[in-house]
């Protein structure tokens, strides 16, 4: 008897995780990818002896990767190893203040008390609240399909409802942080977690303050060969399971007949299947692959998340004051988010993120050098003059780095490349270069994300950063898990 077939559009982390889970359910799985490589945003490249991760740089909830091997009957340690970092990030302000965010809670508390003279227990109290939010609401909003009635008739929901006062439902992240943390720099430090899903802390709900728990309660990790190793090992596992990849073959249409999906069409022909999964941005899925179907316009009109502008710099020097993850804060955080919302021009004092994997993986840069992944939050593409914005952002970034570290960084840049929002859309089919689909800038945003299953078309499913539960490696892996549970057994 022939196995039932599943076709997946896109070979990013979400697409590969979907493929692995559906193969384990018994489906014959084919993955279609317009690029010549797997990974989506999670790719890498080399330039003159430097290796760069092109996209995501932070690894949390590693058990979600391990789980894909375990359900496949494999030992994940036979494929890759990762280690927990002793620090999650280093923070810098223009007045010379710097803070190391230790993953050990006592060490972090001592660091904050020393630098900001905060009351004893401030950090512990904040992270206890973050933990409570995560354990009360995280399982519901991150691991369950919100469009299913059964989700809301559960013990988890009953527990959350009985503890609503702990979820801070009527405040923004900034309002809650201002009340709990008081010190201006400490508030800014925790406000920045809104950017983990492309949102604005002055608008996003306080419930997102559960995000710090991922780093400080569960941990910050790095695969031993760098974060791109996640793509390599998932691709290897998928092939071992018999999953077939069709690279350089772009999906052009999801085929629908009598209210049911029955396959896809590419430039090479039609492929039939029992179910179809799109991991493309939900906007482009409807506008390009489902042009003849009614689109959920209310969802598609939601405010988009921010994008990013990334510079890849080979630096012919080593900076001892920097770690794997580093943040140089803006002096005008509200102004920065206002500029991101308006999206017309580069902000003159952006917050700058620098990731340097050669700190832990020495082969990522020549001896005595470092590979700098330099990112600023950027508005999604609305047709702005990106040539001007890229130059303006680059100048602002260099000015900030030079002021902070008393260097002339432009003289130390040995190799350079960049990735802008229009290129992010072109390479990864993320509408406008928006990294997370819709933003989370209101308290109902979780309910406005597209479900993982079509309500109107049987056999059609959606997965990835633009649908439930959201963007980033962990949520994409959870999206695949939710989708797999929704799919019927073959």
Task: Tell me the domains of the chain and their CATH numbers.
Answer: 5-43+59-71+225-302+441-486 (3.50.50.60), 104-215 (no CATH)
Q: What is the pLDDT of residue 149?
A: 66
Q: What is the band of 56 on the pLDDT scale with cuts at 50, 70, 90?
A: confident
Residue 156, pLDDT > 70, answer: no
Mean of pLDDT values over 297-308: 91
Q: What is the pLDDT of residue 439?
A: 84
Tell me which of 154 and 208 has the higher pLDDT. 208
Q: What is the pLDDT of residue 473?
A: 94
Residue 111, pLDDT > 70, answer: yes
Mean of pLDDT values over 374-389: 96
pLDDT tens digits, one per residue of 84-103: 999 999 999 999 999 999 99
Query: What pTM was computed for the model?
Result: 0.94
Residues ≥6 apart with Cβ < 8 Å to 269: none
pLDDT, the chain, mean: 93
Residue 1, pLDDT > 60, answer: no
Q: What is the pLDDT of residue 159?
A: 67
Q: What is the pLDDT of residue 447?
A: 61
Question: Which of 415-419, 438-442, 445-449, 464-468 holds the top average pLDDT?
Answer: 415-419
Residue 339, pLDDT > 60, answer: yes
Mean of pLDDT values over 229-251: 98
Mean of pLDDT values over 122-145: 85
Q: What is the band of 162 on the pLDDT scale with cuts at 50, 70, 90?
A: low
pLDDT tens digits, one per residue of 470-480: 889 999 999 99
Q: What is the pLDDT of residue 144?
A: 78
Mean of pLDDT values over 112-132: 91
Mean of pLDDT values over 151-165: 64
Percent of the chain with pLDDT over 70: 95
Mean of pLDDT values over 104-120: 92
Residue 52, pLDDT > 70, answer: yes
Q: What is the pLDDT of residue 382?
A: 93
Residue 151, pLDDT > 70, answer: no
Q: What is the pLDDT of residue 474?
A: 93
Residue 157, pLDDT > 70, answer: no
- Least-confidence region, from 144-148, 334-338, 416-420: 144-148
């Amino acid at each position: 008897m022939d196995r039932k077939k599943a076709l997946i559009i896109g070979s990013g982390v979400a697409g590969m995780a979907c493929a692995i889970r559906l193969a384990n359910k018994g489906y014959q799985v084919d993955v279609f990818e317009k690029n010549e490589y797997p990974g989506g945003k999670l790719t890498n490249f080399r330039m003159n002896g430097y290796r760069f991760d092109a996209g995501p740089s932070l690894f949390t909830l590693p058990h979600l990767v391990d789980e894909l091997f375990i359900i496949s009957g494999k030992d994940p340690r036979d494929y890759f190893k990762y280690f927990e970092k002793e620090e999650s990030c280093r923070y810098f302000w223009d007045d010379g203040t710097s803070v190391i965010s230790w993953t050990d809670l006592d060490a972090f508390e001592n660091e904050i008390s020393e630098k900001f003279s905060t009351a004893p227990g401030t950090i512990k109290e904040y992270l206890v609240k973050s933990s409570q939010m995560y354990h009360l609401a995280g399982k519901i909003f991150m691991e369950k399909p919100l469009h299913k009635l059964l989700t809301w008739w559960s013990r988890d929901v009953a527990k959350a409802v009985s503890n609503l006062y702990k979820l801070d439902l009527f405040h923004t992240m900034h309002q809650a942080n201002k009340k709990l943390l008081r010190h201006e720099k400490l508030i800014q430090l925790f406000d920045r977690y809104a950017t983990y899903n492309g949102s604005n802390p002055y608008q996003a709900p306080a419930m997102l303050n559960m995000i710090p728990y991922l780093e400080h309660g569960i941990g910050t990790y790095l695969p031993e060969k760098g974060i791109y190793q996640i793509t390599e090992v998932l691709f290897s596992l998928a092939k071992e399971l018999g999953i077939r990849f069709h690279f350089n073959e772009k999906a052009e249409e999801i085929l629908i007949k009598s209210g049911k999906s029955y396959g896809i069409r590419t430039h090479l022909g039609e492929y039939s299947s029992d179910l179809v999964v799109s991991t493309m941005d939900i906007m482009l899925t409807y506008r390009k692959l489902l042009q003849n179907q009614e689109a959920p316009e209310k969802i598609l009109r939601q405010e988009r998340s921010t994008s990013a502008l990334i510079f890849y710099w080979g630096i012919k020097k080593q900076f001892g004051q920097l770690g794997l993850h580093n943040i140089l804060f803006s002096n005008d955080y509200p102004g920065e988010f206002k500029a991101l919302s308006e999206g017309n021009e580069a902000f003159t004092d952006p917050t700058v993120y620098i990731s340097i994997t050669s700190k832990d993986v020495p082969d990522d840069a020549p001896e005595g050098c470092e590979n700098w992944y330099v990112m600023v939050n950027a508005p999604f593409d609305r047709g702005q003059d990106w040539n001007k914005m890229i130059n303006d952002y680059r100048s602002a970034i260099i000015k900030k780095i030079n002021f902070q570290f008393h260097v002339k960084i432009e003289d130390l840049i040995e190799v350079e490349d960049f990735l802008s929002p229009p290129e992010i859309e072109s390479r990864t089919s993320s509408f406008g270069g928006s990294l997370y689909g819709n933003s989370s800038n209101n308290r109902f945003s979780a309910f406005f994300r597209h479900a993982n299953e079509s309500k109107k078309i049987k056999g059609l499913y959606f997965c990835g950063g633009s649908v439930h539960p959201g963007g980033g490696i962990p949520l994409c892996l959870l999206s695949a898990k939710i989708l797999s549970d929704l799919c019927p057994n073959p």
